[in-house]
Structure 1
Amino acid sequence: MPRIGLCQLTASDDPEANLKLIREGVAATAADGARIVVFPEASMARFGSPLKPIAEPLDGPWASAVAAIAEEHGVLVVAGMFTPAPDGRVRNTLLITGAGHHLGYDKIHLYDAFGFAESDTVAPGTERRTFDIDGTVFGVATCYDTRFPELFRALADDGADIVLVPTSWGAGEGKRDQWEVLVRARALDSGCWVVGCGQADPAASGTSVNPKAPTGIGCSTVADGFGRIHTQLGAGPETVVVDLDPGVAAAARGATGALANRRLR
């Protein structure tokens, strides 16, 4: 049964300072037995500051430092970073490193919504990503991806029982409700566990940020394939460790028929 640490934090615009937060989060959750440690989208540097100057490839120093932290503690780490794109923009990348893996997932669906245009500076990814650890298949998605059920169903078709979703959710009227509904709905759509790990609300720790950027609301949420909330955090920085039974995914799919009974493909 996978034991997963969720590290809800407020990233700064300094990648080196954020490495310290990752080191602390990994140490704390690994000490509690976590095998996988999940950090938010944009853990390398928060939104609202220039991304191109800090973007690095997966074999660059920032990702390599995270890999070393994962190796030191014997865990797999998932954390949001930015990598260079060929067209001069960056890619919004999830680093997946440790336990024999060093991979990236480039966010497919970009946040051109609610007055923000992520695509101005970020190039979209095109490929889904799954990985296996200790016999359980995981999928990954990022933030705005949660508005697109087809991705989660495809990850389930690819064998995933748990989907990890780092996020930096935008604040605003109704946005917290939408986040919870979407996590639960994507879990129901796919029969997967959905593990949403978000940037904390900067206001909860008195942090000043760009008010136009999606810098987080907290409320990290874990839901099972029946749409039930398993764990939910508050607004501020917080760490939790959860045990998730992959067998619940199979039970949910068998009960709801959400995948087997599809007719339009």
Structure 2
Amino acid sequence: MKNRIIDVQNVKITISKEESDDYICITDIAKVKSNSARAADVVRNWLRNRGTLEYLSVWEQLYNPAFKVFESEHFKKQAGLLTFTPSVSEWIEKTNAAGLYVKRGKYGGTYAHKDIAFEFASAINPVFKLFLIKEFQRLKEEENNLRQMEWNAKRFLSKNNYLIQTDAVKNYIIPHRDLKKDPQWIAYAEEADIVNVALFGFTAKAWREMNPELAKKNNVRDFATIHELTVLSNLETHNAHMIREGKNKEERFEVLKEIAEYQLNILSTAEQIKMAETCDDRTLFQPVL
């Protein structure tokens, strides 16, 4: 996922998504206490503290089965010594820690799991920590609302357009079959899979077999992109129309496959053009220093 940036008391804080967890750039947080050039030193000094090492060790033992507890003890024994100046990279390498990581390049710095980042902020500035938590929660609420809207849109498109196709199957395919030998649900599944294979490249059954846990509460269409669902809507409409025309499955599949490839390419190209225009606009209005 793309990095997100929140503004906390005029300090830009970068948040990165790693798998299912949020990691916050504590180098950005450190700028509250020092300037950008010395922010890394603030993080290093924080890591020297025994209380910090105790907290990190307990967090890792709770959430990271691969954490090397024995190695972490060496760090804690040296805490407080003037010669003890550990780096985050050294801590990660020797203990196999997962709560911190170092990123290079753009948006570079030390990133910490949100639990650890809030603890770091508390050590730097307790008041700033409160504002950080408030802005972080606001961001998560916005993301949750957006996900809910997208999910509702997906389900609406999937369910309502599926009705168009199932109605066509009911009226134009099932009446011509021996329902005792060929139950209605088989006819529905076959028609759905014509569209699934044309769009996704695999059947719903194949997806369920590959994703047994997800399939308990979801289907493949729940994980489709907005572009795919838009094309899916069109494919189901086209399929229903071709069923009424009496075209066989092979003919319909070839047509649907061509439509899917063409429309996905059109939507993807349009999105790329929009992104390029947005970047050009941002460049155009950059202030001259």
TM-score normalized with structure 1 length: 0.21
**The structure with more strand, counted as a fraction of residues:** 1
